[in-house]
Amino acid sequence: MKVTVPESAYALVAGGVRGIGYAIAEALARRKFNLILIARRLGDLQSIKADLRSKYGVNVELFSFDLSEEQSVDAIAKWCIERDISLKMLCNVAAGGGASDYLSAPLDTMRYFIDLNLKSCITLTYLLLPLLEKNTPAYIMNVSSLAGLAPIPVKNIYSATKSALIFFSYSLNYQLRKKKIHVSCLAPGPVFTKPEIIQETKNKLGWLSEKIAVSPEKVGEIAVSQTLRGKMLIVPGTIAKLSSLLIRIMPKRVITSIYGRSPA
């Protein structure tokens, strides 16, 4: 089903600067969504704005905010509501903490990643629901991870927050079904966005890393197209899909042990 996008329609991408966030923003711009992009680095945002406007002719608004901070989320929502933005899609992308060891990282670091990965998504969604409801059919895309399907020692804060996003998305989708607001949750496996991610994936998976990894561009396109088609859990890539099924049916203690024994 092809979704017709009104000329005034906006999509907000919270964390739309690099990797998956940028790929989602570009897939939306290709469909003629105007964009509101939020990230910490204004310089990166400005270069992305110029790129997307020249390629697709869409309007792009920029905000440089740290989404882990409560006042940032409040300010973004206030700006959108005061201008009565025709918000048709909210994409909660911002996340971090994939390499932080719960037992050795400072408590402030753990609090930061909980606020960034989970609290910002839940709060921003809550505050912007009235705008989405005014522009139905509307969409929410929450970006989780294949890590959200498994308890992962060392990275347990990351996997726990990503797991919470999956459950939040399922339950919210059920609650909003009669309001014509669809909620999707993107749960990609390895995505080669940074050199350190490439190296870590190769260390853990060896030759399989090249088979299971999906490019950011492909992830962004799949995420947007399947969200617009109403799919709930989105796992890009055939091997990642098969892995997700296996992870879900295996006992959690077994999965935890497997991840715990994998090389760092």
Neighbours of 53 (CB within 10 A): 14
pLDDT-derived band at 212 (thresholds 50, 70, 90) equals low
Burial 197-233 (b: 16+ CB within 10 A, else e): bbebbbeebeeebeebbbebeebbbbbbebbbeebeb
192-207: average pLDDT = 55
Taking only the tens place, the pLDDT of each residue in 142-183 is 999 999 999 988 888 999 999 999 999 999 999 999 999 999
Tokens of 199: 């190296």
What residues does each domain of the chain span?
10-261
Whole-number Å distance between alpha carbons of 120 and 169:
14
Whole-number Å distance between alpha carbons of 136 and 126:
16
Least confident of 149-153, 207-211, 234-238: 207-211
Q: Which amino acid is at 129?
A: L
pLDDT of residue 177: 94
CATH number of 10-261: 3.40.50.720
pLDDT of residue 176: 98
Determine the longest span between alpha carbons in the chain, in angstroms. 52
Taking only the tens place, the pLDDT of each residue in 3-16 is 667 778 999 999 86
Determine contact, residues 161/116, Cβ cutoff 8 Å. Answer: no
Taking only the tens place, the pLDDT of each residue in 74-123 is 999 999 999 999 999 999 999 987 677 888 889 999 999 999 999 999 99
pLDDT of residue 170: 98
* Cβ-based burial of 119 (10 A; exposed 0-12, middle 13-18, buried ≥19): middle
Whole-number Å distance between alpha carbons of 8 and 61:
13
Neighbours of 44 (CB within 10 A): 17
Least confident of 15-24, 169-178, 230-239: 15-24
Backbone angles phi, psi at 182, to 5 degrees: -100, 140
Q: Is the pLDDT of residue 26 over 80?
A: yes
